[in-house]
């Protein structure tokens, strides 16, 4: 029995994962289980890490003291200029290294870790310069005024400290966990909102010009998207927790580094897997989130989970590229597809249940020896 085209298309559309209430129940279950595990293991984990923290406490405190003095003990500058410049500097250090590989193709040994092979190798210089200009615009023309105007009243309202004393290790860990969860929720829903047809066409399509992204594409977006989906999900956690400015800097640097890796197009050893977000850029309607929790709850990773990229979505612990050890299924050649189309056309009087081999088609169309057409 043949499958109707309409039914096939419906099967390919990701399911929403049930009602909102059902998704919330699943979310509470997942987060609650994770919290219980964290509480159960906290004594063992924090005992060892706290020992390291205490041993290096004077070192980190001393380094922060140097930074504090560099800004002239001006907490206003720390909260504004520092919050703008430090994460931006880390972003360009990370992406500067990635751009060397993207532009020069050197060292060549790193190209084997590319996810979408033979795309952007090397990257088009005209397209790259266009991207760099918009990234700089978003960082300094859009983000800059927002930081200088909004940071002081927010720091004052939330009582966010900018002093010389650093927070305790335990509290930093708790804050980072909250930041990650807040970002996952806010980014997933804001990102999915931007994929609604009206907003996608006017705003989010700019970001998806890169179907095979590179690192700096993480901030290549329409300014509205940059504020709604890049800045707010990352800034909401520190505002909620009233965090120390040093913790804010640490979180912003971590967030920019991980999103640059997600957009890099390379699955390097010992780094977080970028497979899910690379798949999002290739397919558009899959893998909207950061960690993938809400994608699983809402069923927006269904195609991804049935793809070889899902099997590769792990941290690479060796030197052999995962694209080698877990290769994609071989694609049918154009000749095979054309052969199948021809055979189906010629047998239109009968049901076309499957592809006819090329050899069969050639035998069928071959002119017998001794005869001419």
DSSP letters for 117-133:
TTSSSSPPHHHHHHHHH
Same domain, 356 and 265: no
Same domain, 131 and 149: yes
Same domain, 182 and 202: yes
354 within domain boundaries: yes
Q: Return d(Cα 190, Cα 233) in angstroms, integer.
A: 9
10 within domain boundaries: no
CA 62 to chain centre: 34
3-class SS at 49?
A: helix
- Given a contact cutoff of 8 angstroms between Cβ atoms, the answer to whether 31 and 296 are in contact is no
Same domain, 321 and 338: no
8 within domain boundaries: no
Same domain, 307 and 354: no
1 within domain boundaries: no
Work out the number of other CB atoms within 10 angstroms of the CB of residue 268. Answer: 17
Per-residue pLDDT of the chain (373 residues; tens, 9 = 90+): 444 443 333 333 344 444 445 555 656 666 666 666 656 655 565 556 655 555 556 788 889 999 999 999 999 999 999 999 999 999 999 999 999 999 999 999 999 999 998 888 899 999 999 999 999 999 999 999 999 999 999 999 999 999 999 999 889 999 999 999 999 999 999 999 999 999 999 999 999 999 999 999 999 999 999 999 999 999 999 999 999 999 999 999 999 999 999 999 999 999 999 999 999 999 999 999 999 999 999 999 999 999 999 999 999 999 999 999 999 877 655 555 555 555 545 544 444 444 444 444 444 434 343 333 3
9 within domain boundaries: no
Same domain, 292 and 338: no
89 within domain boundaries: yes
Same domain, 73 and 176: yes
User: Structural domain tally of the chain?
Assistant: 2
Give pTM, 2 decimals: 0.79
Same domain, 267 and 346: no
Same domain, 354 and 308: no
Give the C-alpha distances (Å, rounded to integers) separating 282 from 11, 42, 135, 138, 205. Answer: 19, 39, 21, 24, 13
6 within domain boundaries: no
Residue 359 belongs to what domain range?
334-365
3-class SS at 256?
A: helix
């Amino acid at each position: 029995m043949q499958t109707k085209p309409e039914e096939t298309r419906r099967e390919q559309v990701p399911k929403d994962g049930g009602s909102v209430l059902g998704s919330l129940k699943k979310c509470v279950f997942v987060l609650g289980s994770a919290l219980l595990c964290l509480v159960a293991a906290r004594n063992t984990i924090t005992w060892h890490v706290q020992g390291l923290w205490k041993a290096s406490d004077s070192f980190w405190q001393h380094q922060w003291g140097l930074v504090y003095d560099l800004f002239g003990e001006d907490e206003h500058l720390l909260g504004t200029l520092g919050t703008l410049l430090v994460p931006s500097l880390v972003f360009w250090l990370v992406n500067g290294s990635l751009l060397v590989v993207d532009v020069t193709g050197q060292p060549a040994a790193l190209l084997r870790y590319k996810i979408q092979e033979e795309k952007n190798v090397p990257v088009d210089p005209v397209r790259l310069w266009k991207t760099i200009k918009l990234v700089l615009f978003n960082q300094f023309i859009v983000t800059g005024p927002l930081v200088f105007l909004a940071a002081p009243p927010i720091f004052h309202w939330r009582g966010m400290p900018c002093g010389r004393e650093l927070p305790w290790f335990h509290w930093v860990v708790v804050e980072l966990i909250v930041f990650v969860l807040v970002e996952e929720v806010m980014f997933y829903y804001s990102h999915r909102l931007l994929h609604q047809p009206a907003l996608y066409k006017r705003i989010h399509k700019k970001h998806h010009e890169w179907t095979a992204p590179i690192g700096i594409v993480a901030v290549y977006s329409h300014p509205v998207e940059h504020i709604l989906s890049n800045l707010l999900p990352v800034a909401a956690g520190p505002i909620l927790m009233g965090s120390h400015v040093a913790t804010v800097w640490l979180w912003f640097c971590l967030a920019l580094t991980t999103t640059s890796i997600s957009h890099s197009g390379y699955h390097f050893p010992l780094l977080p897997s970028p497979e899910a977000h690379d798949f999002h850029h290739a397919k558009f309607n899959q893998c909207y989130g950061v960690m993938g929790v809400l994608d699983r709850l809402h069923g927006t990773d269904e195609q991804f989970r049935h793809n070889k990229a899902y099997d590769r979505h792990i941290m690479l612990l060796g030197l052999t590229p995962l694209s080698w050890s877990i290769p994609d299924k071989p694609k049918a050649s154009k000749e095979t597809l054309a052969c199948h189309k021809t055979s189906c056309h010629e047998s239109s009087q009968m049901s076309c249940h499957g592809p006819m081999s090329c050899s069969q088609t050639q035998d069928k169309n071959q002119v017998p020896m001794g005869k001419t057409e």
